Amino acid sequence: MTRRHSEDINFTEMQTGLQKMQYYSLCGLGKTIHFLGIKTTYALADGFAFLAWHILRSRRENTIASIREHLKTTQDEARNLAYKSFQSTFRSFTEILFTEDFGLEHKGTHLFIENEGLWEKLRSCRRPIVAATGHYGSWELLASLLGQVFQPPRPRMVVVRKYPNPAVHAFISKQREARGASMIGHRAVATSVLRALRKHGIVAFLVDHKTKNHEAYTLPFFGDMANVNMGPALLAVRAEALVLPIFLERTDKGFLLHLQEPLDTKLLSGTTEEKIKETTLFYTRAMEKQIRSNPEQWFWMHNRWNKDWK
């Protein structure tokens, strides 16, 4: 049976000719930019970052303030990091156009693995795995890479937020699913995720989103309190899954895959509530650890701490 891609499903939601035209226009634009190559695309992304830096004044100042407060830097250091974060963020957005080229077997990928022993254990593991990551480095390319961890029929799934425009969502889903991972909306995913985990699959979550109070624990993050989504932890505990912090960092030589030692929720003690909170705290600390190692590659312009920015 042929797997239905989410772009096929969403394409049926396009009720107007305008939406269909938008979809085909995005596909054409994407192919054109892809043809230019990733280095040229990075140059374009840096140009957009330059414009955003000078046009979005409040976003720029809030990013600088957030970095200075949470990394305890000087104003000049915070400003320098903030600008590099703008560049990294725009590069991350454009990298979605290269997912079909990004893989373990492609010679042009220049992918390096920090902990190859742990990577091989992951690929041979028969346990369900919850991959905890965030808006760090090349997160779009990481989604593509996770589609190659296992071979079918083992599920490979990434939980994402749905874009309100069906044409945009269909195009982005098409790019993200180019290497085998299935995208699923973040609302009402429990049944699908549990089914995938119970088939010994891997399901990835972005765990650095701002989350509503009823869906979160309020936990320390960079010395401040932030709402952290408990959903991935709840599903991991229910499925007795491994929770694996994983990140893809952009380097001068290519891409570096970081894997931290996983948490085995099957070995946790205490009540279910205590296990869920411990798991949530685990991936929050893992996220902070990775960001501290290279803060310029995190999405600092996101108001992560619910501050009442101007």
CB-based contact 250:138 (threshold 8 Å): yes
Q: Which of 245, 169, 174, 176 is nearest to 204 (CA)?
A: 245
Residue 6 has pLDDT above 50, yes or no: no
Nearest residue to 201 (alpha-carbon basis) of 236, 249, 245, 177: 236
Asked if omega into 128 is within 30° of 0 (cis), the reply is no
Residue bearing the bigger pLDDT, 262 or 7? 262
**Tens-digit pLDDT profile for residues 291-304:** 999 999 999 998 89
pLDDT value of residue 144 = 84
C-beta neighbour count of 77 within 10 angstroms: 14
Question: How do residues 168-200 score in pLDDT, each as one tens digit?
Answer: 888 998 899 988 899 888 776 889 999 999 999
Q: Which has the higher per-residue pLDDT, 154 or 104?
A: 154
Distances in whole angstroms, Cα of residue 306 to Cα of each of 156, 223, 289 = 32, 14, 21
Indicate whether 3 pLDDT > 50. no
User: What is the pLDDT at residue 189?
Assistant: 80
Tokens of 65: 């303030």
Task: Show Cβ contacts of residue 222 under 8 Å, excluding neighbours closer than 6 positions.
Answer: 70, 71, 288, 291
Whether the per-residue pLDDT at 67 is higher than 90: the answer is: yes
CA geometry: angle at 138 spanning 281 and 294, to 5°? 60
pLDDT value at residue 5: 43
pLDDT score recorded for residue 19: 84
Lowest mean pLDDT among 31-35, 153-157, 177-181: 177-181
The better pLDDT of the pair 151, 269 is held by 269
pLDDT at 194: 94
pLDDT interval class at 8 (50, 70, 90)? very low
Q: What is the mean pLDDT of residues 123-151?
A: 93
Report the interhelical angle of 57-71 vs 75-94 (nearest 10°).
120
Q: Could you give the residue ranges of the DSSP H alpha helices within the chain?
A: 6-11, 17-36, 38-55, 57-71, 75-94, 116-124, 139-146, 166-176, 190-198, 231-239, 272-293
Question: What are 78-86's contacts with CB under 8 Å, separation 24+?
Answer: 81/295, 81/296, 81/300, 82/300, 82/301, 83/49, 83/53, 84/296, 85/295, 85/296, 85/297, 85/298, 85/299, 85/300, 85/301, 86/49, 86/52, 86/53, 86/60, 86/301
CA distance 117 to 138: 22
Q: How many H helices and E strands in the chain?
A: 11, 10
Which residues fall within 8 angstroms of residue 106, CB to CB, at 6 or more apart? Answer: none
Cα distance between residue 134 and residue 202, in whole Å: 16
Rounded to the nearest angstrom, the gap between the alpha carbon of residue 101 and the centroid of all alpha carbons in its chain is 18
List the beta bridge partners of residue 203: 130, 157
The band of 34, judged by pLDDT with boundaries at 50, 70 and 90, is very high
Q: Is the pTM of this model over 0.95?
A: no
Burial class (CB in 10 A: 0-12, 13-18, 19+), 171: buried
- The Cα-based distances of 263 to 118, 129, 256 in angstroms read 13, 10, 22
Residue 9 clears pLDDT 90, i.e. is over it: no
Terminal CA-CA length for the chain: 53
Other Cβ atoms less than 10 A from the Cβ of 196: the count is 22
Output the six-digit token pair for 150: 């296992």
Given the structure tokens 């071979």, which residue do they identify? 151
Give the pLDDT of residue 309.
45
Query: What mean pLDDT is reported for the chain?
Result: 90
